[in-house]
């Protein structure tokens, strides 16, 4: 199998040091040229987007039996490509890696084709990567669950009895998943203060971000046929950064007994570039020790997570630059992606191409790694200090939250770009 992740690989497209998009990455996304044209599939390389629909039209996939004639790259969503499965995904990656290498002339030496297939990032609008049929949000960070449980129930009841036995999750609202850059409108709903006899209606006063990562599914399974944990990776197309915005005051009043509803249905933001598991393979690592041992259907190999550095930046009105407020890592998650997918389908639930699964808030062991304002300010008791002299317990209108994530390779970086949203 051709090497697509080695540190010695170089593209003929210049890639600046620290770029999230070297030849070792090659993520997939949906873009639309600002000059006009329909949305279609591309990959990111350095400061450019490579138009895969035009490559397909020009015959560059004719030798690839799993891709030739499918037309999947001319679509306005990745679903059709996701449905083809891992062998086709790997074949496409190998073809793109070969075409972009510095020692390959097919694209490098054809000025007319290069002009047709390459766009600068500032020449395109990035769209949602997929038509998302279903969206599940998990609650898989032990540190986050313990922090929240301690705040609301006390340290002796921080984790609910089921938490160490299964990946807790709930069904989210796929219609309100938006691409990075879309505005986030402050939701209204019922809230009830500690001293109030009855609830009141109005805008959320405790609007929060949640640092998460998510994965999109590929071929899927038939209704009634679970996906075993040891086969789950064949159904995971790739990963994105997720900001699952949360209205804490609405959530507190509504979540008993069925869980979040209006507090989560108003907006979920995702990064536009989907990074494949093939690109992340060099960064595979061991997750937290699971005790008690999971039930048999949730047992997996040890190296089922990835070393992905995560950051959250906040910019408020009057600030000249972003302020970093969180530094965390994907490897902190207690429940892995394969366990999440195996648990979701153990009932026979069917998964479809383009379904989105989010990790839940990713918090680490120290306060700087807490992945929400709720934790960073400890329910508002320890406000964040801003360069403007202001404080933040939760998010104000006009605040912009930007999340980013990356893996550090040997002389290169595999990154996810960013997901950003402004509160309005």
| pLDDT single digits (tens) 304-362 | 999 999 999 999 999 999 999 999 999 999 999 999 999 999 999 999 999 999 999 99
pLDDT of residue 273 exceeding 90: yes
Let me know if 144 is a catalytic residue.
yes
Q: What is the pLDDT at residue 1?
A: 74
- Cβ pair 127, 31 in contact under 8 A: yes
Q: What is the pLDDT at residue 64?
A: 97
pLDDT of residue 198 exceeding 80: yes
pLDDT of residue 65 exceeding 80: yes
Q: What is the pLDDT at residue 399?
A: 98
Which residues sit opposite 269 in a β-bridge?
A: 178, 243
Q: What is the pLDDT at residue 2?
A: 87
What is the arithmetic mean of pLDDT over 207-218?
A: 98
Q: What is the largest CA-CA distance in the chain?
A: 74
**Alpha carbon distance 341, 297 (integer Å):** 11
Residue from 144, 171, 235, 396 carrying the catalytic annotation: 144
**Mind giving me the DSSP string for 391-419?**
EESSPPTT-EEEEEEEEE-SS-EEEEEEE
Q: What is the pLDDT at residue 194?
A: 87
Phi/psi of residue 35, nearest 5 degrees: -75, -10
Tokens 């040091």 — which residue?
17
Say what percent of the chain tops pLDDT 90.
97
- Cis upstream peptide for 257 (omega within 30°): yes
Q: In which band, very low, low, confident or very high, does the pLDDT at 73 lie, cut at 50, 70 and 90?
A: very high
Q: In which band, very low, low, confident or very high, does the pLDDT at 129 lie, cut at 50, 70 and 90?
A: very high
Helix, strand and coil in the chain, % to nearest 5: 25, 25, 50
**Alpha carbon distance 366, 305 (integer Å):** 20
Q: What is the pLDDT at residue 219?
A: 96
Neighbours of 161 (CB within 10 A): 7
Looking at residue 69, the DSSP 8-state letter turns out to be T
Tokens of residue 132, six digits: 């998302």
Q: What is the pLDDT at residue 76?
A: 98
């Amino acid at each position: 199998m051709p090497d697509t992740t080695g540190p010695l690989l170089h593209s003929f497209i210049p890639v600046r040091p620290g770029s999230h998009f070297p030849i070792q990455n090659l993520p997939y996304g949906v873009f639309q040229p600002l000059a006009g044209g329909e949305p279609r599939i591309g990959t990111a390389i350095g400061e450019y987007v490579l138009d895969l629909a035009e490559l397909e039209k020009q015959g560059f996939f004719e030798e690839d039996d799993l891709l030739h004639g499918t037309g999947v790259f001319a679509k306005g969503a990745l679903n059709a490509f996701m449905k083809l499965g891992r062998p086709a995904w790997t074949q496409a990656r190998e073809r793109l890696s070969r075409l972009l290498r510095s020692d390959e002339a097919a694209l490098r030496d054809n000025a007319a084709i290069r002009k047709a297939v390459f766009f600068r990032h500032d020449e395109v609008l990035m769209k949602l990567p997929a038509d998302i049929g279903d969206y599940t949000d998990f609650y898989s960070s032990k540190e986050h669950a313990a922090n929240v449980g301690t705040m609301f129930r006390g340290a002796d009841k921080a984790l609910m009895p089921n938490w160490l036995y299964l990946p807790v999750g709930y069904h989210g609202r796929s219609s309100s998943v938006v691409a990075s850059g879309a505005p986030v409108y402050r939701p209204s709903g019922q809230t009830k203060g500690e001293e109030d006899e009855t609830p009141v209606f109005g805008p959320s006063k405790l609007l929060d971000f949640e640092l998460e990562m998510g994965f999109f599914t590929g071929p899927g399974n038939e209704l009634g046929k679970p996906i075993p944990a040891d086969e789950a990776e064949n159904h995971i197309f790739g990963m994105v950064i997720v900001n699952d915005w949360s209205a804490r005051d609405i959530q507190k009043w509504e979540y008993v007994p069925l869980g979040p509803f209006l507090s989560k249905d108003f907006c979920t933001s995702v990064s536009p570039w989907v990074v494949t598991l093939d690109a992340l393979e060099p960064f595979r690592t061991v997750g937290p020790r699971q005790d008690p041992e999971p039930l048999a259907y949730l047992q997996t190999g040890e190296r089922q997570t990835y070393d992905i550095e995560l950051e959250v930046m906040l910019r408020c009105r009057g600030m000249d630059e972003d302020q970093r407020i969180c530094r965390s890592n994907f490897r902190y998650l207690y429940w892995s992606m394969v366990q999440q997918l195996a648990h979701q389908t153990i009932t026979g639930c069917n998964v479809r191409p383009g379904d989105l699964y989010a990790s839940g808030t990713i918090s680490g062991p120290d306060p700087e790694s807490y992945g929400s304002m709720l934790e960073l300010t400890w329910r508002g008791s320890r406000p964040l200090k801003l360069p403007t002299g202001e404080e933040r317990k939760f998010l104000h209108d006009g605040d912009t939250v930007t999340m980013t994530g990356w893996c550090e390779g040997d002389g290169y970086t595999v990154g996810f770009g960013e997901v950003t949203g402004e509160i309005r």
